[in-house]
């Protein structure tokens, strides 16, 4: 693959009242351009990942990126929407343009401004990613509760594993200065229903749900033919996207078929297996999604992921560290930004530039699993340093 990441940008994630959608887009874009050492005039195309669905009034926002650098004016800009995988959709569209040779340098930003609405408003907006003919009255916690219920019926109660995933990801976020929630949670707290940890959609409690967050992330992608002008780069060993049926009723949720298929195709494209991957960022919109991702990655057979989690194999010092950033659970989940954020943080790990999050041994291969809807769209990238 000819496309490589040569610059990254990432705002803080959180409730950022002082920053508008436009502010977030431009902050991330400017950082990525500066990191790559290029100006807007060097960029051939711009892509924005943004879900929106009524979260903010600005639906036509792709051109907001252009104000990040005056050299971007009159460059083609496009918004990509694919629910929670909108960021990866934008990135993959840019990869296609660069790999085809149509663009030499592309700028990709993922963004969401979510905290301007109350929880009920955000819940309604996110519900737009569900199958309205059958699921219009279901919230996304209810949709992923369906995954957890199906898992319990097919295999075993996932409650203990989900609690351990929450504890791990909050601990990881303590090392991430960009994370929304840098606060430890205890296993007993995550296991129990209480006033501070209410049941949201049985069996999912508040401690199983990702955060309503503002934030943006950006990457500059370049063709290998111009690699000589950049100081370091991260390449794609694989970039695979799979779309499954939209209705929950058309799938077997406990099988996590779409993400599993995307992972298998990515491994095949890269010529690697799970044992070759040094770290992963996966889409833990709800803790059950990370448990299912453990199995989709091939760390465990279907129904056996709880043991992997209990043994600490996905922790920082484990066999395959997952969500060193804190994941969506603690880093936060600004929907359109999430897929780009995953790529930024894996790229920084591969380049030894992840700060407090950095693994002691600089990894060689990192994996991103970004998912849209109820395992409807799955994007899996396998990244490697090509110039460090």
Residue pair 81/111 in contact by the 8 Å Cβ criterion:
no
Residue pair 377/251 in contact by the 8 Å Cβ criterion:
no
Give yes or no: 84 in active site.
yes
**CB-based burial of residue 198 (10 Å sphere; 0-12 exposed, 13-18 middle, 19+ buried)?**
exposed
- Residues 33 and 219: their CA atoms lie apart, in Å, by 8
Torsion of CA 246, 249, 253, 255, to 10 degrees: -90
- Residues 123 and 192: their CA atoms lie apart, in Å, by 24
- Residues 29 and 66: their CA atoms lie apart, in Å, by 9
18 HSE (CA, 13 A, CB side): 3
CB atoms within 10 A of CB 18: 5
Encoding tokens for residue 205? 């409690």
Which residue among the candidates 80, 84, 285, 368 is catalytic per the annotation?
Answer: 84
Residue pair 350/366 in contact by the 8 Å Cβ criterion:
yes
Contacts of 370 (CB under 8 A, 6+ apart): 84, 85, 87, 88, 283, 338, 339, 342, 378, 379, 380
- Residues 158 and 161: their CA atoms lie apart, in Å, by 5
Which residue among the candidates 10, 333, 343, 368 is catalytic per the annotation?
Answer: 333
Known catalytic residues are 84, 333
């Amino acid at each position: 693959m000819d496309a490589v990441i040569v610059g990254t940008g990432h705002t803080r994630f959180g409730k950022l009242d002082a920053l508008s959608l436009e502010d977030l887009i431009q902050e991330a874009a400017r950082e990525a351009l500066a990191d790559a050492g290029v100006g807007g005039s060097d960029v051939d195309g711009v892509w924005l990942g943004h879900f929106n669905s009524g979260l903010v009034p600005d639906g036509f926002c792709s051109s907001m990126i252009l104000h990040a650098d005056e050299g971007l004016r009159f460059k083609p800009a496009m918004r990509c929407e694919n629910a929670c995988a909108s960021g990866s959709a934008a990135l993959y569209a840019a990869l296609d343009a660069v790999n085809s040779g149509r663009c030499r340098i592309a700028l990709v930003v993922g963004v969401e401004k979510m905290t301007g609405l109350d929880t009920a408003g955000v819940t309604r907006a996110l519900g737009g990613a569900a199958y309205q003919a059958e699921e219009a009255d279901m919230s996304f916690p209810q949709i992923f509760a369906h995954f957890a219920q199906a898992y319990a019926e097919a295999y075993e109660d996932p409650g203990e594993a989900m609690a351990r995933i929450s504890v791990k990801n909050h601990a990881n976020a303590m090392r991430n200065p960009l994370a929304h929630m840098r606060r430890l949670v205890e296993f007993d707290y995550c296991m129990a229903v209480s006033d501070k940890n209410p049941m949201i959609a049985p069996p999912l409690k508040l401690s199983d749900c990702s955060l309503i967050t503002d934030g943006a992330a950006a990457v500059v992608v370049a063709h290998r033919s111009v690699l000589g002008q950049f100081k370091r780069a991260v390449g794609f060993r694989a970039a695979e996207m799979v779309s499954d049926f939209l209705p929950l009723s058309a799938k077997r949720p406990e099988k996590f078929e779409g993400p599993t298929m995307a992972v298998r195709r990515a491994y095949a494209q890269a010529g690697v297996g799970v044992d070759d991957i040094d770290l992963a960022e996966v889409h833990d919109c709800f803790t059950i999604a990370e448990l299912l991702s453990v199995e989709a990655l091939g760390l465990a057979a279907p129904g056996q992921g709880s043991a992997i989690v209990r043994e600490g194999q996905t922790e920082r010092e484990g066999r395959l560290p997952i969500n060193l950033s804190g994941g969506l659970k603690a880093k936060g989940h600004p929907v359109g930004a999430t897929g780009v954020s995953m790529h930024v943080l894996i790229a920084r790990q591969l380049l030894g530039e992840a700060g407090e999050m950095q693994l002691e041994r600089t990894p060689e291969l990192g994996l991103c699993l970004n998912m849209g809807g109820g395992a409807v769209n799955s994007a899996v990238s396998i990244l490697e340093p090509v110039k460090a």
